[in-house]
Structure formats: C-alpha cells, structure tokens
C-alpha cells in the first residue's frame, strides 16, 4: 500500500510540474474592446481574453514559432506565429500572433539564431491585460527546447 501511495504521489508531482503545450489557435481566442488609457492620453483597443487563455496566465508552457530578434543582446525577442518576412500582421493576423520573449538570466544562445528560425520554447506565460508598453503575451524565463527548421 505504501509503495502504491508513493508511486501515485510521484505521478501527481510530475503532472503538476509538466509544461502545457500551447498553440497559436488557442491564443487567438481573444476579442477587443475600447478603453481610455490615461498614461497614453487616448482611447485604445484592448484585448479581452477567453477563459481558456486566462487559465494559462502564470503557467509553464511550451510553444513553437518563428524567432524574431529585437535587441542586440537577445535577452528579449519576439516569437511569431508567422515568419517575419511575411510581416507580423499580414493576411489578417493580429497582435495575438506575436509573443514577447524574455530569456533566463545569462542565456546567450538566442543571439546566434538566424532570423525566422522556427523554434520551440519553454517558459512562464504572462497574459498582458492592459499594459500597452508590452505585447499581449509575454513569455518569461524562456528556454530553447529545440530548433525545428
């Protein structure tokens, strides 16, 4: 009986620490509303996230997309559902198709990736509900799991 309880406990611990694989179709479950933002001095469209997306906030996730460099040190970059040679928002795509990526402290391997490299990342998802200075999805403590293309 003790052995069974031990195995069950290990299984649940493993499940609790597992990353959830997320795709861009899930993140697209968003609608929009207009609101005045005092710090910006105007009315802007803000995202209203589905319950499914809100449930991902603060969770460890795995996601795939195209690498788009933003800063020279590669501590922050973007991950796009679409290759950037097509532009982020071509063919009706919106801001929900791009994610702001912040790497783990001390990680340097991202700066050696080619633009438009298709990669798989792991990190903690932040759903940005109202800060217009950041993208609507932010992945913190990102780690490269694999280069796909």
CATH of the domain at 75: 2.40.50.140
Helices (H), 18-116: 24-27, 51-54
Q: Which residue matches tokens 């179709």?
A: 25
Domain membership flag for residue 2 = no
User: Mean pLDDT over residues 49-63, rounded?
Assistant: 97
pLDDT of 14 reads: 46
Closest residue by Cα to residue 68 from 48, 54, 88, 50:
88
pLDDT of 5 reads: 44
* The Cα angle at residue 129 between residues 128 and 132, in degrees rounded to 5: 75
Residue 28 half-sphere exposure, CB side, CA atoms within 13 Å?
10
Neighbours of 15 (CB within 10 A): 8
Domain membership flag for residue 48 = no
Domain membership flag for residue 100 = yes
Domain membership flag for residue 133 = yes
Statement: residue 56 has pLDDT above 90 = yes
Domain membership flag for residue 129 = yes
Domain membership flag for residue 70 = yes
Statement: residue 113 has pLDDT above 80 = no
Neighbours of 24 (CB within 10 A): 19
Q: Report the percent of the chain where pLDDT is more than 70.
A: 76
State the average pLDDT for the chain. Answer: 82
Q: How far is it, in rounded angstroms, from Cα 143 to Cα 134? A: 20
Range of the domain at 78: 20-29+56-147
Number of domains in the chain: 1
The answer to whether residues 30 and 53 touch, using CB atoms and an 8 Å cutoff, is yes
User: Mean pLDDT over residues 68-94, rounded?
Assistant: 75
H or E, element range at 46: strand 42-49
Q: What single-letter DSSP state applies at residue 117? A: -
Domain membership flag for residue 13 = no
User: Strands 60-69 and 42-49, how do they pair?
Assistant: unpaired
User: Mean pLDDT over residues 115-122, rounded?
Assistant: 86
Domain membership flag for residue 9 = no
Statement: residue 110 has pLDDT above 80 = no
């Amino acid at each position: 009986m003790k052995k069974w309880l031990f195995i069950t406990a290990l299984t649940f611990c493993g499940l609790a620490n597992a990353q959830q694989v997320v795709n861009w179709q899930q993140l697209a479950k968003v609608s929009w509303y207009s609101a005045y933002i005092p710090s910006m001095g105007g009315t802007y469209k803000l995202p209203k996230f589905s319950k499914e997306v809100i449930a991902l906030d603060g969770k460890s996730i795995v996601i795939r997309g195209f690498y788009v460099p933003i800063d020279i040190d590669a501590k922050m970059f973007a991950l796009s559902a679409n290759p950037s040679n097509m532009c982020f928002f071509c063919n009706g795509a919106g801001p929900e198709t791009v994610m702001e990526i912040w790497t783990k402290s001390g990680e340097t391997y991202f700066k050696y990736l080619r633009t438009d490299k298709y990669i798989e990342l792991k990190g903690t998802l932040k759903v940005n509900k109202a800060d217009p200075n950041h993208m609507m999805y932010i992945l913190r403590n990102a780690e490269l799991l694999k280069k796909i293309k």
